[in-house]
Chain A
């Protein structure tokens, strides 16, 4: 009897050890997934200038740069989060939007970026930005989205002659290309990619997680003497 119980315990311990090893493996993989999101700090390749599309407080000591593609579903999913962040932190944070159209994958990404750029020349970049993301699914698969974009421009009350001329203009396209190259130079390989205070951050999973990251950046700058209350 005694022997049998002991034997059973030994046998059980084999299984427990095997389970523990597998559990350790799962934990190792889990931490690897977590840490792969927070690799070596990647700095922003080019500093924010007046040439950038900005929203919020341009004098703020905290800057969030987003590299995005208007046709990327993930960017579309992040857009409401960002809109909420801008409404809450717009007075303390400088929000910057840079184009990173994944042209090989998203056929209309470039045209959308050009529409936003053209609207921007009439002071309505963010308005067009919002319309594009809000209606992403209705134009993403169009063979030629130009007419749809013109419709958006009209609804925003833009000067249509100017919008049409600017949409395909070298100036607008160069600006997109400059954004794209600065993204490549920073080593990004997807969208959206966020840089907070010039350093790449892991994409937060929710609004609250995003707000927490911004709060901590605000807290850090608040330690240094600044004019913000």
Chain B
């Protein structure tokens, strides 16, 4: 299989962003699981956001889903780099649309439904948006017809 020559730095930038997002989401997830009673804060909106009804999807904390999402991106990239199969990486970059759409929804929920902004959630929205922009605007589209698009949302 022939691989499209892409910028070699690309997967590394991708992985660095994914690690940032992973750290952020993991921080939120750990906060969620270690603090049983979330205090009322004078300065931050985080406790309002992270304890809102929108912070859970089917009973699973959104932060944990985010953490798993970034983990998938990181590991997918590592597998692709190690096995030298760019096809896998291409799939992973298409997957970044999911994270972007979720971030849009959470940003909307924070501004219009919860009326509070959580900086940590905003951080993850930024990394997932950057990953999406990189993937869809700076990464060459599929070179061969063999590449199947993943179904995203």
Contacts and interface: CB of A to CB of B under 8 A. Distances in A.
A206 B26 CA distance: 23
Contact of B39 (A15, A29, A105, A190): A190
B124 to A, nearest CB: 13
A206 B41 contact: no
Given A193-B39, A205-B36, A14 B78 contact: yes
A190 B45 CA distance: 11
Given A14-B78, A14-B82, A73 B35 contact: no
Contact of A203 (B31, B39, B79, B83): B39
B22 A30 contact: no
Contact of B26 (A15, A25, A69): A25
A85 to B, nearest CB: 14
A22 B22 contact: yes
A25 B36 CA distance: 23
B40 to A, nearest CB: 4
Contact of A191 (B27, B40, B44, B75): B40
Interface residues of A, number: 32
Nearest to B48: A105
Given A29-B26, A189-B41, A190-B39, 12 more contacts: A25-B26, A29-B27, A33-B30, A33-B31, A69-B40, A102-B40, A189-B43, A190-B43, A190-B44, A192-B39, A203-B35, A203-B37
Interface of B: 19, 22-23, 26-27, 30-31, 34-44, 71, 74-75, 78-79, 82-83
For the complex of A and B, the 6 pairs showing the least CB-CB separation, nearest first, are A72-B40, A190-B41, A189-B42, A190-B39, A74-B39, A205-B36
25 contacts: A11-B82, A14-B82, A18-B74, A18-B75, A22-B22, A22-B71, A25-B23, A26-B26, A26-B30, A33-B30, A72-B39, A72-B40, A74-B37, A102-B40, A104-B42, A105-B40, A188-B42, A189-B42, A189-B44, A190-B41, A190-B42, A190-B43, A193-B39, A203-B35, A206-B36
